[in-house]
Amino acid sequence: MDVAHVLRGMKTGGTAESCGSAFGRIHERLELEEAPGERALILGQTAELLSLAPLDWLFPEALNADLRGQYLGLVNALTRCAALPVCDTDRGALPAKSYEDIPAKAQAVSAVLLALCAQIQKALEHRNRPDVGSLARTLAPSVCIFSVAHLQEQPWSSEASRTGARELLASAVSLTGSGSVQELLSGAPDRGRTGLLRPVLDALQPELTKERWKRNQAVKHVFCWMLVQVERPFLTEYLEKVFPPSLLISDDYRTENKVLGVHCLHHIVLNVPAADLRQFNRAQVLYHALFNHLHTSEAALIQVVLPCLLDLLSVLEKPPVHSGLPRKLNHFDYVLRHILTYMEMEHKLDLRRVYAENLVLFIERMGIVIVRHLKRLERVIVGYLEVSDAPEEKARLSILDALQKTLQIAWPRMEKRMGSLAQSLLRFLVDISSESLPAPLKEQLMTQASHCLLLLDHCSKGKLQTLLRELDSSCVSEAVLKCIQTVTAAPPYQ
């Protein structure tokens, strides 16, 4: 007996087979049918069946465990109809043409599941059936996993399939009485409602092992998307389930997987208490995994590793106690020493931009301890001011910001470095004044350099002003002269 027979029975008033039996037959046909055209026909008929079937037939009073199992089996069979092809290569990726038929399949499956969600919504609104609400929560994890796999912009999705997936996810949120996806996954303890992240992770777990996680390209993206929806304080409860897969993904040889894994790890660092991260040596394991990534030459990876590492260092290192004794070298020092070493010899502009941008954050976080690294930091600043990264000059803007922070924090030690830094800044002003840059950007660069000169003058107790007044004004352009006059016209150091 097929779907069409069940529909005919309902339309003519004949005796239709029971809901559980009909779903079992549909499930069986979906599993056995391999022809794409026949599968599409079954999906269309199933959507019609779910839309037209009476609520009493879909959700009889005796909504027992067997019928709930049939519903779950049907939903899982439907989602498998749009499953991605298995990747058996070590690369863990297939060419885009391998996924060309997936969007249409996903769209058809979304239509069926939306029809089922609509009927569940009617039963909840008009019949006040708690057992149907319980059924909705049973089906929600599978529905969510399918939706998230197809709502992201990937080679296996299209605009139409993403729209259907978003509508389906919104239906799942509504059916469970949640106000948002975050509440759906995290729960609402104040209302006695548990989140669905645990059953979602349990369903994903078999596919997130070392041997299998590359076989299905959607799994890692679903895991990451789900993870970042759950924040403090709820994420702590799932730490044992989310930490190992995140490490596993970040340890891959492909840059895109490393970036995704580090993105997950950073979210964990930000949303799990430090005490829990330090427990079982997790923080140290994470530190070594992240530090190993610092040897890469991929800017995209360094861009996510450095902020993650910076937040992790605050977990590893307790706030210093002001005992008057010199502070011992710690993880901050080791990481900054490594960064400065790589910055000094780096010639790729994209990496220079990333390093310079994050250097500012390290200086701010380390505070006065930055004085330990002034010699190497000075060389880096001077070197970066000399090399243009037009047209946006992001590296030089960031390095000027880093110099300002250093002058503000380590000012007692900066007077003896006045000569080389002032010379570098003046040379920078001359270079910028002669370069073909947009006027607003040129003004911003020269203003920041002038501010650095002002700070340097304060650090040198007014000695820089004296030196600048002795400069031969005929040797510089009007724009540079204006910047110098800004410094020399400033109130004298008190």
Residues in the chain: 494
| 172, pLDDT greater than 50 | yes
Answer whether 141's CB lies under 8 Å from 199's CB.
Answer: yes
The answer to whether 294 and 338 are in contact (CB under 8 A) is yes
For residue 1, the number of C-alpha atoms closer than 13 Å in the C-beta half-sphere is 15
**pLDDT for the residue 3:** 56
Cβ within 8 Å of residue 410, ≥6 positions away: 368, 370, 371, 374
493: how many CB neighbours lie within 10 A of its CB?
Answer: 13
- Nearest Cα to 257, choosing from 269, 239, 267, 245? 245
Of the listed ranges 181-190, 307-316, 319-328, the least confidently predicted one is 319-328
Check: CB of residue 263 under 8 Å from CB of residue 306: no
Span 378-414, pLDDT tens digits = 999 999 999 998 889 999 999 999 999 999 999 888 8
Least confident of 69-78, 271-280, 477-486: 477-486
**pLDDT reading at 305 higher than 90:** yes
Maximum mean pLDDT: which of 119-128, 219-228, 467-476: 219-228
- For the chain, domain boundaries: 1-191, 360-494
Give me the torsion for CA of 81, 85, 86, 90, rounded to 10°. Answer: -160
How many angstroms separate the CA atoms of 38 and 219, rounded? 27
Given a cut of 70, is residue 474 above it in pLDDT? Answer: no
Residue 407 in contact with residue 414, Cβ under 8 Å?
Answer: yes
Mean local confidence (pLDDT), 485-493: 73
